Amino acid sequence: MDVNNLVSIAQAMVADHKGLLAADESTGTITKRFETINVNSTADSRRDYRELLFRAAGIGKYISGVILYDETIRQSAADGTTLVDLMKKEGILPGIKVDSGAKPLAGSDSETVTEGLDGLRDRVMEYVDLGAKFAKWRAVIKIGDEMPSGHAIHTNAHALARYAKICQEGGLVPIVEPEVLMDGNHDINSCQQITEETLNSVFGELYAQEVVLEGMILKPNMVISGSDGEKRADINEVANETVATLMRCVPAAVPGVMFLSGGQSEIEATMHLNAMNNNHKNLPWKLSYSYGRALQASALKAWLGEAGNVKSAQEALMLRASLNSAACAAEYKGEAV
């Protein structure tokens, strides 16, 4: 294992005021998003959309890396340039989603465990050959009636640690993503308690399996009220509860915490990130972003599948990326809603 290389990549991922673009939607997920703009999802239309994202001039100023889907890391742009090479030209690190999704958890009626460990070592070798520098694995934790169970938390934490170890041995920096879902009517206190329990379990497993903390990135949820809650916590409460939870659970050796947006609106996700960086200085790790919808929603609406809209879509992406970069520096000034 080349620890120095892993550490170097992880540090590049959390470079000052930069974040990650999550463009790793499965074919099923991106098809649903295309349906919202009446665009037929084909290999070419998916390629065209992602190509416009990666060709946005200057995007490397705000984006350090892009998480790709298996299809995308193998695709070439319309002119024959590989999408990986497009990113490299912008100084952006290519990454890859390696899990195979959340599947029903044995012994539970409603919970899931993320699968994909079978054959992972060989897939890591292939993705390294295709140019990947880091990987991502998402575990899903639900809050609800008698959920989450300790079994669900432990099983997902164990899988995350096994994935992380395999990736590091193969030369990829693992993004460890335990997501406590926003879905539900729970309050912020419930989210805080479950997030703390989940992170403690995850880092216990990472320690047990001797994962190099300096060569990984944490991608957690923010501590936030359920999306259906009647009285949702405000921006500063979310920021303060999230940082307090991280301080209790995340070792200082981890280079960066790159939050998922988890169903938040674009503006909400940016406001929360800014408040964290504004309210809390001299933290042991960088606080940044690894957003999918919260970077892409406006760009997708601007594109509408039309070649003539590519420039407008790129401008929408650049705006969101620049605003989140400002939030990393606690310099986000807000925007018209």
The residues that are catalytic are: 177, 219
- How many angstroms separate the most distant Cα atoms in the chain? 53
Radius of gyration of the chain from Cα atoms?
19
At 80, is the secondary structure helix, strand, or coil?
A: coil
Of 321, 310, 311, 318, the closest CA to residue 49 belongs to 310
Q: Would you tell me the crossing angle of helices 310-328 and 293-303 to the nearest 10 degrees?
A: 160
Pairing relationship of beta strands 112-114 and 102-104 according to DSSP bridges: antiparallel
CA dihedral in degrees (317, 64, 141, 170; nearest 10)?
140
The whole-angstrom separation of Cα 141 and Cα 132 is 27
The whole-angstrom separation of Cα 137 and Cα 209 is 16
